Amino acid sequence: MSVLVILIAISILVAGGFLAAFIWSVKKGQYDDDYTPSVRMLFDDNPDSTKS
Amino acid sequence: MPPLEALASPTMPAPAPQKSSTKCYHCGETCDRSLTEGSYYFCCEGCKFVYGLLKENGLCNYYDLSSTPGIKVKGRFASDKFAYLDNEEVIGKLIRFTDGKQSHLNFYLPQMHCASCIWLLENLHVIQPGVLYSKTNFGRKEIFIAFDPTATTLRKIVELLAFVGYEPHITFNDSEKKREKKVVRQQIYKIGVAGFAFSNIMMLSFPEYFSSGNIDEHYLERIFNYANLLLALPVFFYSANEFFISAWKGLRQKWLNIDAPIAVSILMTFSRSVYEILSGTGAGYLDSMCGIVLFMLVGRWFQNKTYDSFSFDRDYKSYFPLGVTVLKEDGTEEAKTISSLEKGDRILVRHNEMVPADALLVKGEGNIDYSFVSGENTPVARQKGDLIYAGARQLGGSMEMEVIKTVSQSYITQLWNNNDVFDGQKNKDKSFIHPWSRYFTAVLFTIAATAGVYWWVVNPANILPAVTAALIVACPCSLLLSATFTFGNMLRHFGKNKLYMKNASVIEALARVDTVIFDKTGTLTHSTKAAISFKGETLSKRELNLVYSLAKESTHPLSRMIKDYLLQTNHTEPLPVEYFKELPGKGLEAMIDGHYVRVGSASFVKGPSEEVSSAFTQVWIAIDGHCLGYYTLANSYRDGVREMAGNLQGDGYRVHVLSGDNSAERKNLQYLFGAQAPLLFNQSPQSKLDYIKELKDQKGLRVLMLGDGLNDAGALKQSNVGIAVSENTSQFTPASDAILDSSQVGLMDAFLRYARSGKRIVTASFIISILYNIVGLSFAVRAELSPMVAAILMPASSITIVAFVTIATSLSAKRKGLA
């Protein structure tokens, strides 16, 4: 049954990794603005290409 | 939210239909077809120029993303309106970071409203060399700009923004508020940590749940328990710390706040769990504890998120410009910050600028718009030597003034800082949830104590388990969650209907109101629309065109109303205008197509002796010296006022009307509000304030005041609930508790009904929560509360409550007729 102990340790470690990733993403500002990026990704990259 | 369909299918706009009035391609305002560029029509040179600028830079995508996204260009601003932005002191205040090669700044742009705006604002670098990049935050209506200070200046950027229609809201406060972002992130970290711990502890507790407390391999059981304890530590010490801090602060002021029972519950659960695990007698209730903390934190986050979209805490300074032009003795001009303005300074106030301090007019002609102070939007003429109060806006030419009071002593500032009114003691009655939470705590302690006494007699070994279990299971968290989510959801529903509230306590205050007071001008009536009628000779098509062409040249509100009226009723077309002259407070004159046309007041058009006194605003017209008649601009009431007034009175509210105008409208108001409703005329801001004070203090009434911006600031603040009615809800009025879009005044009865339903929903959810608590306590007092029962009962109660109040508030909003 001692394999259980190893499994638990690994599972918590993995979960901890995700927690760290979450904290990192918050710190990077990914949750600061949850609307504008959804619009921004629809824009053309180069405005000059539409020059008339 | 902006129209996103336009983004998905960027179709070219259809060619304008063949009729004489059309819509401006830039701003969408109804206009004639005289100004064209390509196949598009424009309402004014300004709009056409912005279009030209964007076209030149290949930014025409702006018009494809949403239709007529532009903001009407309101005349050219004075060339050195933003001169103060060259001042080092001002630059230092506004720029957040600079290393000589790159400077960063943040602006609040209240005009941002659609996907096109985002697109244009993020392509600023195309138009303005020196801008490195710009990034918008649509939710907060903010733009972040990085620019090269050697290639461009702060002033140029602001001028460009103002020119394309997004004038930044530059205030003193900008330089002071920078820290709030950190707090928000802290909260998300806390939720993350609590969620992580909660799910992992749950997982490690499954063996415990399913074996009903007897795990065969004891070392495994101990490992599970210790791992749980380890995971719970950061939750207890980090995630939950704000509950302890808040409860402690409350206790120090001898006040048992809503966080106190939560803090006690968390502390109790944690210490009993630690004791059980260390002594090897049980598994503890750490899963429940992390669950409580997680749910409470999510509730708080939800609450903050609801408030986030409105930043209400602006004071009068937000309304004043940052800088002002001071004339030195040798005649040179200098930009100065307002706070450094001194008594005796000569200042220059240009067209469309605000007078920052009470001052005497020394040179030039004043045409003063006091709408900021009095709500009256018809400008008044002021002569040399007249005193002009702070907050007035100059229209027309520039004027020189001598400051007689510094900014902090001026009239408007005094009204603002009046301790009698603005003492922050508003809504002293605490939320009805607070007494509930105290009863709850009292009953809980009684039950726990009774159980303790019972077991002391029967079996002393069970005292501790029973008492602690009672305190653990009967967490008041559902009490708190129900209020948070009910009011949070209601705030959203109110917001959808364009009533924006400062915070949740406004809903409760609104539910307690028994008297509703309306201001007339701007609240019950349209401020930019009037019922216009013409008296005099019948005008020919050509004469109408002449009048229209003249009115079109002016930005005066009366001219604009007449212009719109003519355009909509007669399909007028413009004629070339020469020798245009606008005489402030009098009228307009010009040569149009060979005719001398005058439009304005009776004394201006017909001669100085012809002063006409009338209850209504009159605009006279004369062509080639022949007076043709006059337009009457009568108040036009908003739709649905009568039904609303009837419903309010039917619901038992007392309805009053206070008006700053004369009593000419008495009949109309009596028709709308019934003969019994008290109507008061010729009310000054001070007398409105006193009237409300009297109702409150002498008669013990709870007053809701609906008024217009700063004019009624005192009255709004004095009332129990003050709602500012505004055409432009992006402009906040600090004295009010809520801001209502002026088109929605007719929904006031529905708003009040909805506010009252809030209390019923919270009460119902309390009953559900009490039922859960009775079940939980029945286990606890028998000392039979197993960790599994606690772990099921507590999340279940929280989830039921949240689901119940969310559904109930939405249903109720629909039933009350709110969108």
Spatial CB neighbours of B403, under 8 Å, sequence gap ≥ 6: B341, B342, B343, B344, B345, B346, B347, B357, B358, B359
Q: Are B50 and B166 a contacting pair, CB within 8 Å?
A: no
Residue range B339-360: average pLDDT? 79
Chain A residues close to B227, C-beta within 8 Å:
8, 12
**Top-confidence residue, B251 or B215:** B251
B585 three-state secondary structure: coil
Spatial CB neighbours of B305, under 8 Å, sequence gap ≥ 6: none
Q: What is the pLDDT of residues B34-79, one digit of tens each?
A: 777 777 888 777 788 788 888 888 788 788 777 777 776 655 555 6
Alpha helix ranges (H) inside B86-169:
88-94, 115-121, 124-127, 154-163
Closest chain B CA to residue A37: B137
Q: Can you give the pLDDT at residue B586?
A: 76
Chain B residues close to A35, C-beta within 8 Å:
138-139
The tokens describing B326, both together, are: 């001071």
Q: Can you give the pLDDT at residue B414?
A: 60
Q: What are phi and psi of B507, to 5 degrees?
A: -60, -45
Residue A41 parent element (H or E): none
Place of tokens 């990704």: A41
Q: What is the pLDDT of residues B470-481, one digit of tens each?
A: 877 776 677 778
**Top-confidence residue, B349 or B78:** B349
- Interface contact A52-B189, CB threshold 8 A: no
Pick from B633, B568, B639, B573: which is nearest to B599 by CA?
B633
Residue range A11-37: average pLDDT? 88
User: Which residue type sits at B462?
Assistant: N
Q: Residue B4 — pLDDT band, cuts 50, 70, 90?
A: very low
Spatial CB neighbours of A13, under 8 Å, sequence gap ≥ 6: none
Closest chain B CA to residue A26: B185
Closest chain A CA to residue B9: A42
Residue B42 parent element (H or E): strand B40-42
Cα–Cα dist A50/B15, whole Å: 20
Cα–Cα dist B488/B493, whole Å: 9
Closest chain B CA to residue A24: B189
Q: What is the pLDDT of residues B230-248, one digit of tens each?
A: 999 999 999 999 889 988 8
Spatial CB neighbours of B482, under 8 Å, sequence gap ≥ 6: B762, B765, B766, B769, B801, B802, B804, B805
- Interface contact A52-B58, CB threshold 8 A: yes
Q: Residue B422 — pLDDT band, cuts 50, 70, 90?
A: very low
The tokens describing B313, both together, are: 């805490």
B104 CB near a chain A CB, below 8 Å?
no
- Interface contact A31-B61, CB threshold 8 A: no
The tokens describing B724, both together, are: 């500012």
Distance of CA B502 to the CA centre of its chain: 8
Distance of CA B237 to the CA centre of its chain: 36
> Is pLDDT at B7 greater than 50 in this prediction?
no
In a 10 Å sphere around its CB, with 0-12 CB exposed, 13-18 middle and 19+ buried, how is residue B730 labelled? middle
Q: Are B390 and B366 a contacting pair, CB within 8 Å?
A: no
Cα–Cα dist B146/B95, whole Å: 10
**Residue B115 distance to chain A (closest CA, Å):** 7
Distance of CA B447 to the CA centre of its chain: 46
B233 CB near a chain A CB, below 8 Å?
no
B225-to-B199, B257, B787 alpha-carbon distances in Å: 15, 33, 12
B674-to-B226, B512, B642, B758 alpha-carbon distances in Å: 73, 24, 9, 29
Residue range B387-403: average pLDDT? 79
* DSSP, residue by residue, B397-434: S-EEEEE-S-GGGSHHHHHHH-TTT-SS----SPPTHH
Q: Of B122, B185, B224, which is closest to A40 when you measure between CB atoms?
A: B122
Q: Of A1, A23, A40, which is closest to B118 when you measure between CB atoms?
A: A40
Q: Residue A46 — pLDDT band, cuts 50, 70, 90?
A: low
**Top-confidence residue, B739 or B704:** B704
> Is pLDDT at B427 greater than 70 in this prediction?
no
Query: Of the ranges B139-153, B364-378, B487-501, which one carries the lowest mean pLDDT score?
Result: B364-378
> How many C-beta atoms lie closer than 10 Å to residue B495's C-beta?
15
**Residue A23 distance to chain B (closest CA, Å):** 6
A48 CB near a chain B CB, below 8 Å?
yes
Q: Can you give the pLDDT at residue B377?
A: 54
Which of B123, B196, B225, B297 is most worth mutating to test chain A (most A CB atoms within 10 A of its CB)?
Answer: B196
Q: Of A5, A18, A35, which is closest to B138 when you measure between CB atoms?
A: A35
Q: Of B57, B118, B196, which is closest to A39 when you measure between CB atoms?
A: B118
> Is pLDDT at B361 greater than 80 in this prediction?
yes
- In this structure, are strands B595-600 and B587-592 parallel, antiparallel, or unpaired? antiparallel
Residue range B294-301: average pLDDT? 86
Q: Residue B552 — pLDDT band, cuts 50, 70, 90?
A: confident
Q: Of B138, B192, B220, which is closest to A36 when you measure between CB atoms?
A: B138
Q: Can you give the pLDDT at residue B812?
A: 92
Chain A residues close to B224, C-beta within 8 Å:
8
Q: Can you give the pLDDT at residue B232?
A: 94
Average pLDDT over chain B, rounded to whole? 78
> Is pLDDT at B19 greater than 90 in this prediction?
no
> Is pLDDT at B368 greater than 70 in this prediction?
yes
- Interface contact A52-B192, CB threshold 8 A: no
- Interface contact A36-B193, CB threshold 8 A: no
**Top-confidence residue, B254 or B126:** B126
Q: Can you give the pLDDT at residue B23?
A: 78
Q: Residue A19 — pLDDT band, cuts 50, 70, 90?
A: very high
Q: Can you give the pLDDT at residue B308?
A: 60
Q: What is the pLDDT of residues B668-685, one digit of tens each?
A: 888 888 888 888 887 777
Cα–Cα dist B435/B443, whole Å: 12
CA torsion B266-B799-B1-B507 (nearest 10°) is -70
**Residue A29 distance to chain B (closest CA, Å):** 9
B181 CB near a chain A CB, below 8 Å?
yes
Q: What are phi and psi of B104, to 5 degrees?
A: -115, 140
| Percentage helix, strand, coil for chain B under 3-state DSSP, each rounded to 5 | 50, 20, 35
Q: Of A8, A26, A50, which is closest to B227 when you measure between CB atoms?
A: A8
Q: What is the pLDDT of residues B630-656, one digit of tens each?
A: 888 777 788 888 889 899 998 889 899
Spatial CB neighbours of B569, under 8 Å, sequence gap ≥ 6: none
- Interface contact A47-B61, CB threshold 8 A: yes
Spatial CB neighbours of B17, under 8 Å, sequence gap ≥ 6: none
Q: What percent of chain B has pLDDT over 70?
A: 83
Residue B691 parent element (H or E): helix B685-697
Cα–Cα dist B819/B810, whole Å: 10
Q: Of A4, A19, A51, which is closest to B58 when you measure between CB atoms?
A: A51
Residue range B500-517: average pLDDT? 85
Chain A residues close to B290, C-beta within 8 Å:
none
Spatial CB neighbours of B542, under 8 Å, sequence gap ≥ 6: none
Q: Can you give the pLDDT at residue B729?
A: 53
> Is pLDDT at B18 greater than 60 in this prediction?
no
**Residue B444 distance to chain A (closest CA, Å):** 37
Chain B residues close to A17, C-beta within 8 Å:
none
Q: What is the pTM of this model?
A: 0.70
> How many C-beta atoms lie closer than 10 Å to residue B409's C-beta?
14
Q: Can you give the pLDDT at residue B744?
A: 85
B411 CB near a chain A CB, below 8 Å?
no
> Is pLDDT at B327 greater than 50 in this prediction?
yes
Closest chain B CA to residue A18: B196
Q: What is the pLDDT of residues B484-508, one digit of tens each?
A: 788 888 888 888 888 888 777 788 8
Chain B residues close to A16, C-beta within 8 Å:
196
Q: Of A19, A44, A50, which is closest to B196 when you measure between CB atoms?
A: A19
Q: How many residues does chain A have?
A: 52
Pick from B738, B759, B767: which is nearest to B486 by CA?
B759
Q: What is the pLDDT of residues B177-234, one digit of tens each?
A: 554 566 678 889 999 999 999 999 988 888 877 775 555 677 888 888 899 999 999 9
User: Which residue type sits at B691?
Assistant: Y
Which of A13, A36, A44 is most worth mutating to test chain B (most B CB atoms within 10 A of its CB)?
Answer: A36
- Interface contact A52-B4, CB threshold 8 A: no
Closest chain B CA to residue A33: B137
The tokens describing B547, both together, are: 């009048």
ipTM: 0.86
Q: Can you give the pLDDT at residue B373?
A: 60
Q: Can you give the pLDDT at residue A17?
A: 95
Residue range B530-555: average pLDDT? 81
Q: Which stretch, B51-60, B261-270, B580-589, has highest mean pLDDT?
A: B261-270
> Is pLDDT at B731 greater than 70 in this prediction?
no
Query: Of the ranges B12-16, B50-54, B521-525, which one carries the lowest mean pLDDT score?
Result: B12-16
Q: Can you give the pLDDT at residue B159?
A: 85
Q: Can you give the pLDDT at residue A47?
A: 53
B706 three-state secondary structure: strand
> Is pLDDT at B786 greater than 70 in this prediction?
yes
